[in-house]
Amino acid sequence: MMISSDICVIGGGAVGKACALALARAGLDVVLVASAAPAAAELNADWDRRVYALNHVARRLLTSLKVWDAMDQDRIAPVDAMAIHGDGDAPAGQLGFDAYGARVDALAWIVEDRNLNHALDGALRFASGIRVVQGSAAALSCGADRATVTLDSGGRIDCSLVIGADGAHSWVRTQADIGMDYRSYAQSGVVANFMTTRPHHAVASQWFLGADGIVALLPLPGQRVSLVWSAPEPLAATLLREGTQALCERLAALPGQSLGSFEMLPPQQPRAFPLRLIRAESLVAHRVALAGDAAHVVHPLAGQGMNLGFADIDALLDALARRDLPSDCGDARTLARYARSRKEEVLLMQFATDGLQRLFAAELGPLKSLRNLGMTAVDRLPFLKRRLMAQAFGRTLSTSLGD
């Protein structure tokens, strides 16, 4: 089997699916290589433990693809404000953001992974200009004018550009000989969902707990919240081992929390995933572009991993729209334009999340006092808060703030 197309997207996650849909909507012939065919399985009553805080850039892209409105809106919660708590006894630092001050309807939206992928799979089933090939890529060959992806089934895909959206352990990145910087944070992200006795009022709360890591409680519809606890590995193992009631009691004891008591939602077992920093040395190679976790993995303390991936798609669309030859999606100038457009935002987010993780992991007494004072000082500087919001929550918010 030989398939000829403009672009081959490798990766069956949310970024790969959205990338294929966006490129096809732009009039390109796309092949999506995924390990499993889109099934559009029905959502069940349980709340997915993996959630994303999608910003305005992500929402705009998904809306243009007719995916946002296809999601179950009753399972999406807006974030109207953020409350960030420093560590230490007294006084702990405080920092807050709110949609009213940013002049937008919401800072972000909390969306379950299952809800997002359900809508993406449905869109793929009816999309024109996309062929979904189930299987795995086995070889990649890039010539002067075309690239060839050989599948494990023996089939081949001939195209002018290969997009690697195949996650942190990217096969495409390896085949294109793109190096990477890798560092483990020696932490795990412990995730679970809870019912609370008091309402969250659409506020996302975060606690920097020094040696105990970083706790984030994100609003879900109703009196529900989703936990992401970036915990040192020994503590993460304890949280998984000691039982649901002990975890509920730990959350109820967080300083300044206003949600009352906690009850874990089904499935009543937290999960954990390793936290690491990955920097691809380049977002592009000859006839290859990387997107999403294949290009960059950041600490989840800012909840920006998926947003960076959707912003990659946005930048790819722009670069391809300005390509010199309509028939060639993978020429060097187009790929260089894409890489340049993403360099600043990705570097800033990597620097910010990595720097904050290092800063609040340090246990030196004077440093603890300084970082809490610094957090409170930022809270009193409107210009700096606006810049931080524009960076974290997307370019739409940047425009509304006048930055």
Position 76 scores a pLDDT of 98
What pTM was estimated for this model as a whole? 0.91
Domain assignment present for 125: yes
Q: Which amino acid is at 92?
A: A
Domain assignment present for 315: yes
Domain assignment present for 217: no
Position 340 scores a pLDDT of 97
Cα separations (Å) of 63 from 21, 66, 71, 399?
12, 5, 10, 19
Task: Give 380's contacts (C-beta < 8 A, 6+ positions apart).
Answer: none
Task: Give 291's contacts (C-beta < 8 A, 6+ positions apart).
Answer: 15, 16, 19, 163, 164, 165, 283, 309, 312, 313, 316
Q: Cis omega before residue 267 (within 30°)?
A: yes
Domain that holds residue 300: 2-73+106-181+276-363
Q: Residue 336 and residue 238: Cα distance in Å, rounded?
A: 46
Q: Residue 99 and residue 59: Cα distance in Å, rounded?
A: 16
Q: What is the 3-state secondary structure (H, E, C) of the chain?
A: CEEECCEEEECCCHHHHHHHHHHHHCCCCEEEEECCCCCCCCCCCCCCCCEEEECHHHHHHHHHCCCCCCCCHHHCEEECEEEEECCCCCCCCEEEEEHHHHCCCCCEEEEEHHHHHHHHHHHHHHCCCEEEEECCEEEEEECCCCEEEEECCCCEEEECEEEECCCCCCHHHHHCCCCEEEEEEEEEEEEEEEEECCCCCCEEEEEECHHHCEEEEEEECCCEEEEEEEEEHHHHHHHHHCCHHHHHHHHHCCCCCCCCCEEECCCCCCEEEEEEEEEECCCEECCEEECHHHCEECCHHHCCHHHHHHHHHHHHHHHHHCCCCCCCCCCHHHHHHHHHHHHHHHHHHHHHHHHHHHHHHCCCHHHHHHHHHHHHHHHCCHHHHHHHHHHHHCHHHHHHHCC
Burial class of residue 355, CB neighbours in 10 A (0-12, 13-18, 19+): exposed
Domain assignment present for 269: no
Q: Contact, 313 vs 290, CB < 8 A?
A: no
Which phi and psi angles does 402 have, rounded to 5°? 80, 20
Domain assignment present for 92: no
Cβ atoms within 10 Å of 194's Cβ, excluding its own: 23
Is the Cα dihedral 187, 192, 195, 200 positive or negative? Answer: positive
Domain assignment present for 345: yes
Q: Residue 136 and residue 128: Cα distance in Å, rounded?
A: 22
Q: Residue 58 and residue 397: Cα distance in Å, rounded?
A: 12
- pLDDT per position as a tens digit, 182-226: 999 999 999 999 999 999 999 999 998 888 999 999 999 999 999
Q: Which residues pair with 96 in a beta bridge?
A: 83
CATH number for the domain spanning 157: value is 3.50.50.60
Q: Contact, 220 vs 77, CB < 8 A?
A: yes
Burial class of residue 395, CB neighbours in 10 A (0-12, 13-18, 19+): middle
Return the closest-CA partner of residue 15 out of 239, 247, 313, 396: 313
Q: Contact, 371 vs 359, CB < 8 A?
A: yes
Domain assignment present for 63: yes
Domain assignment present for 25: yes
Considering its fold, how many domains does the chain have in total?
A: 1
pLDDT in tens, the chain (403 residues): 899 999 999 999 999 999 999 999 999 999 999 987 665 456 677 999 999 999 999 999 999 999 999 999 999 999 999 998 887 655 567 788 888 877 889 999 999 999 999 999 999 999 999 999 999 999 999 999 999 999 999 999 999 999 999 999 999 999 999 999 999 999 999 999 999 999 999 999 999 888 899 999 999 999 999 999 999 999 999 999 999 999 999 999 999 899 999 999 998 899 999 999 999 999 999 999 999 999 999 999 878 999 999 999 999 999 999 999 999 999 999 999 999 999 999 998 888 888 778 777 766 556 666 666 666 665 565 665 666 666 666 654 444 444 4
